[in-house]
Structure 1
Amino acid sequence: MPRRDPDAVRAPKFSARDRLAFLLALVPWLMDHERVTVDEAAAHFDVDADLVRESVELIAVSGVPGDTSSYQHGDLFDIAWDAFEDRGEIVLTNLVAIDDAPRFSAREAAALIAGLQYLSSLPETADSAAIATLMGKLSRGASGPVAPVGVAGEATDGRLATIRDAVSRGVQLELDYLNSRGEHERRRVDPLRIDSNDTDWYLRGWCHLRQAVRTFRLDRMSDVVVTDRPIEHRVDEVALPDKLFEGATTELVVTLDVASAAVPLLDDYIPDGAPRSTHGDLVRLELPISHLDVLKRLVAGMPGVATVVGPPEARAAVEAWAQAALERYSVD
């Protein structure tokens, strides 16, 4: 082993707990990088090179005893000693117990990678090196080959970046909005906050046309323009409700029978304290809606688990909508 200069300046001594934490971080890092120098490892962890050398030497005499309860050669970590002593390179040549650790299945790793790809598509996490590194580790560390996964970008990605820019700068937006009645309106909005519900994105802001806080779905927006006008209502000056969806002042209250397992899908739409009762596997609840078109889309999205009980005009509207849909399948 090369002799070290006893007069060399040393880094502050690590406690036993610090050394253990460093070793636990060093081993998987060395496995990921296959061949690195002592100086590269020291720079990555921001520690003294002597600490890296001492830790690598300790790793090389660490392991798990085999069936004989004594340490044999294959029961210890090992390194390429010539490369380590002559060129200061660290190469692990034998790993112990690492391969016995629990691993994600290929399907679990693919699901996590898909989620990370979705995160990497968002403006605030785009081009994140940490996400790319984590996806690589998941691919290599799964118990089997991971199927290639690709998450397509949403059509709203460009609008989302534009709106985030307006929120961060505190300036107004102008946009065309398709409301629940199918009508296009030009709106001027003070953007306050962006929220998501599953895969749908929403802007919450002060609408100058309605003179109130409103929630806008991004996929119903078009011709979004960021202006130079500062917002007139700030997030700390208006009351943003905890729930994403709030009922309008002119509401139609609809009574629904919903399968109990599907009730959580409606929680964001049900006002606090709204009456509900249980009848076997069904929950009867009251839901305020702004327009019957909203009810049609809601029932269409919950086929077989939601039934309109009343009022009569709501039942008639849903029935007529369903009948019109069936007629499209008829053949002349």
Structure 2
Amino acid sequence: MKIRSRLDRLDRLESWLKSDDTLLLSDAAEELGVSLRTIHRDLDLLRDRGVPIESDRGRGGGVRVSRGWGIGRISLTRMEALDLLVGIALNDIAAPHLRMGRSRTIQRKILSSFSAQDQQRIREMRQRIRIGGRASAEMEQSLQDASDQVGDAIKEGFALGKVLSLTYRDREGAQTARLFEPHFLVLNQPVWYAVGWDHLRDAPRTLRTDRMQDARVTDDSFTPRPWDDFAATQDGNPTREA
């Protein structure tokens, strides 16, 4: 069975590691349709993300996640925690009269379950998500559903600092191949934008995520730039951190 992207494969590996059973690397490689070398690289990446993977010296060997890791009985990756934290922030914006002062407490509790290093990484990612005003009626009417594959690629590129290879369709329907660095994500409800560096234009650009097609994560990395480097692309669209 082939897993469609590295992000899917990492999620599957992490899900298996969270179970009570020890994960045999040969079984994982066969199930995911990749080599043992790829599995070892994936495990190294999960360790870099803060997943405490330990070896099991029992019969047959293998690896597993250290017991007691996560929030109570729930184990969250940094990306899952980021999704949850941003969701709480968006709820504050959508229904401030219902939050009753609990949101900040919930956010602190979620963050406190992670190591100091992971807490800092989550904060840094969250600072690169910005919230603007509601999209115009015209924008809402033109909004299209993005595929899961495109959404996963955008999230992975944004979180890991990886350049995206994609096809972009402009408002006139013209399509161009792009290499794009997603430095920031901006929400003008319900429309999401990726703000970053466009290699084709060699300039900062804002791309609507629902107009991205065939997006995939490349091996090329980028270092996140400050918001001021892209603020000019948001003229007339004031935003704030999520």
Same fold (TM over 0.5): no
Report TM bin, short chain: 0.3 to 0.5
> Between Structure 1 and Structure 2, which shows a larger proportion of helix residues?
2
Which protein shows a greater Rg? 1
**TM-score of the superposed pair, with normalisation by structure 2:** 0.37
**TM-score of the superposed pair, with normalisation by structure 1:** 0.27
